[in-house]
Amino acid sequence: MMSAPSRTELISSPRPRPSTQFEAVPNADRALPRLAVAAVLVAIFGIFGARCWPVARGDAITSDETTHLIRVLNLFQNGDDLAMWELGAPRLPHVMGGYASYLALRADGMMPASADMEKIARLVVSGMPRVVVPARCVAIGWGMLLIGLVFWAAARTRGAISGLIAAGLVSTVPECLAHSAIAGSDMPFTTSAFFSLICMARYIEKPTARRWALAALAVGLAWAMRHTALVLLILAAGIHLVVALRKPRAPGVAPLAEVLASSGLAIVAMGVISFTVLWAGDGFGTLTLGEVAGRASRGLPQRMGPIDVSRLQIPSSAVSVVKQVRHQNAGHEAFLCGEFGQSGWPSYFPIAFLLKTPTGLLMLFVLAVARMKLGRPSPWDAVAIAFLGLLWLMLVRNKVNIGVRYAVLTYPLAMPFVARMFEGRALRDRVWGPVVLISAGWFAVASIGAHGRYLSSFNEIGGGPKMGWMYLADSNIDWGQDFDALGRTIETLGIKEVTTDVSSERRLDLPGVFTVMNRSKATQVPAATPPNRRLYDDEGEYLPIYTRYVAVSVSRLHGLYSQNDVSWLRTRRLVSRVGDSIFLFDMDRPAERPFVE
């Protein structure tokens, strides 16, 4: 007869722990031929690329692309890195895309020979496809990598079929398509952040130093794309602490203190590794406190008592972080549902997400939450849900409300949960099955309908792209992408004179067409113009307009990023709507009805 174990033996022997492995893959999915899975996945990639390419090739260069490409090309041509960190954003995503454009321009002999940033700026502002398309091809690659990661995350938990469904769903989201065809930091960050979350889930599954180091490198990669990755560090700290506390230990304060200390050291190590990756992405650049004076150093000391520290070298990445923190605290000029604000609104991102996400997909999200089974979540489910909570907590507190693109990571994180509703058992439900299929069809129709105009896509709740401009502006609908289409419209209509006030640094240059950029009131030359050629403001003053036609973009019509009040244009006749973001008015003819479209 066996004797009962002693207290010492119970403490020293390992306790049985609940399995932290990912859920088993259903047997039916295991039998799915790998060749068939690969073929479907390749088809998803192909369709996604075919949908992104016309936008990457046809849309005009956006304002953000202009800003970053000028600085990246200047970096490669002249070695000037100061203009990069001044923006307060990591340079790696822009350098990766800009390098493709730089190589293409060098191959064609189009790069200016002299170290003249003004010539580089003129080259970029020209908007030639050779300037921006190579960089956008890199963004398409990031989008495809995201699709692959979504497939892998869903397939590991629920099988290959579920993975293919999740990958197919995320590849058709208009916001994902839009930012995979734009050379920005949105898709690089989304993809690298998603990868870091996978690494965290694998650490929970099997907590080893190697997997923790891999997670640290992945978080660093995401940080090198955008400073939003600081949220990932918070999540990682919580994960390590929870995993450490769940391990068997002897009772008492000393063992607990030892666990907390070791967990704290691991978290600090992750922070150091992640920052090193960020710094590597910034080229291990350093600056002296004196060099950053007047740019990002307000509050940074130049002297410490009698010691002059103005020559102290600090990482350029640290200065970039300081600038970004100050930007977030100061806020950013924004527009929401007829209101203007500098400090943002807690409701901004929920409203923007509600208006920009296809209604069918919103229904799928609601159904996925309603049908989610309660119980112990898998490591991936726990990580995804926890990060979604942290992400949206950060978004509602964010003072920089300039686009739903900051919430794009929501879509890939939600898709593995949505894909589970398409499993055989779930679809056989007589009530939920048809609702899921109808919602999916609704989503598919909306995605196809948004083809070619993904950036300005709005759902039925927002009145579609025709009415979406009444609720949101900036990168939600107006990023300068319709500038080239404006030129084609003017030529088609036979217009010979036009004033432009659009969200682009480019100047309209058409043969035989007199064009004027609408300057701010402070730089306008007083002139006597007919009453119908005046833009009146709230103070009763007016801006003289020297042409019959005026082209104004959504953001400028709302008064965003402009010192001019051009709202009076709504009393003039609308000649044409260019894409979804530019209105063309006739100053000589009054509006036939109240302006709403």
Q: Is the pLDDT of residue 539 over 50?
A: yes
Between β-strands 534-536 and 542-544, what pairing exists: parallel, antiparallel or unpaired?
Answer: antiparallel
Left if phi > 0, otherwise alpha if psi is -120 to 50, otherwise beta: which for 69?
A: alpha
Q: What is the pLDDT of residue 27?
A: 40
How far apart are the C-alpha atoms of 580 and 469, rounded to whole Å? 8
Tokens of 237: 């700290």
Question: Where is pLDDT greater, at 521 or 588?
Answer: 588
Whole-Å CA distances, 261 to 97, 254, 257, 258, 265: 41, 10, 6, 5, 6
Is 468 within 8 Å of 580 (Cβ atoms)?
yes
Between β-strands 497-501 and 549-553, what pairing exists: parallel, antiparallel or unpaired?
Answer: parallel
In single-letter form, the type of residue at position 138 comes to V
Q: What is the pLDDT of residue 293?
A: 61
Q: What is the pLDDT of residue 542?
A: 81
Tally of CB atoms within 10 A around 414? 22
Is 446 within 8 Å of 464 (Cβ atoms)?
no
Can you spell out the DSSP letters for 479-516? SSTTHHHHHHHHHHHT--EEEEE-SSS-----TT-EEE
CB contact set of 585 (below 8 Å; sequence gap of 6+): 549, 550, 551, 552, 569, 572, 573, 574, 575
CB contact set of 157 (below 8 Å; sequence gap of 6+): 22, 23, 25, 378, 380, 381, 416
How far apart are the C-alpha atoms of 484 and 131, rounded to whole Å? 15
Highest mean pLDDT among 22-36, 320-334, 568-582: 568-582
pLDDT tens digits for range 291-345: 666 555 455 566 666 776 667 788 888 888 888 888 888 889 999 998 988 899 9
Q: What is the pLDDT of residue 287?
A: 79
How far apart are the C-alpha atoms of 195 and 147, rounded to whole Å? 11
How far apart are the C-alpha atoms of 156 and 451, rounded to whole Å? 31
Q: What is the pLDDT of residue 209?
A: 95
> In this predicted structure, which of 10-19, 424-433, 484-493 has the lowest mean pLDDT?
10-19
pLDDT tens digits for range 540-558: 778 888 899 999 999 999 9
Q: What is the pLDDT of residue 8?
A: 44
pLDDT tens digits for range 246-267: 988 888 899 899 999 999 999 9
pTM for the model stands at 0.90
Q: What is the pLDDT of residue 10?
A: 39
Q: Is the pLDDT of residue 116 over 90?
A: no
pLDDT tens digits for range 184-239: 999 999 999 999 999 999 999 999 999 999 999 999 999 999 999 999 999 999 99
* Alpha helices for 294-423 (secondary structure H): 316-330, 348-356, 359-370, 379-397, 410-419
Q: What is the pLDDT of residue 330?
A: 86
Tokens of 467: 């009415």
Tokens of 59: 């849309």
Q: What is the pLDDT of residue 12?
A: 42
Label residues 200-228 b or e (16+ Cβ within 10 Å = b).
bbbbbbebeeebbbbbbbbbbbbbbbbbb
How far apart are the C-alpha atoms of 316 and 92, rounded to whole Å? 13
Q: What is the pLDDT of residue 324?
A: 86
Query: With pLDDT > 70 as the criterion, what percentage of the chain qualifies?
Result: 89
Task: Read off the pLDDT of each residue in 476-501 and give the average, rounded to a whole number.
Answer: 95
CA distance between the termini of the chain? 87
- Give residue 380's pLDDT band: very low, low, confident or very high (50, 70, 90): very high
Is 550 within 8 Å of 498 (Cβ atoms)?
yes
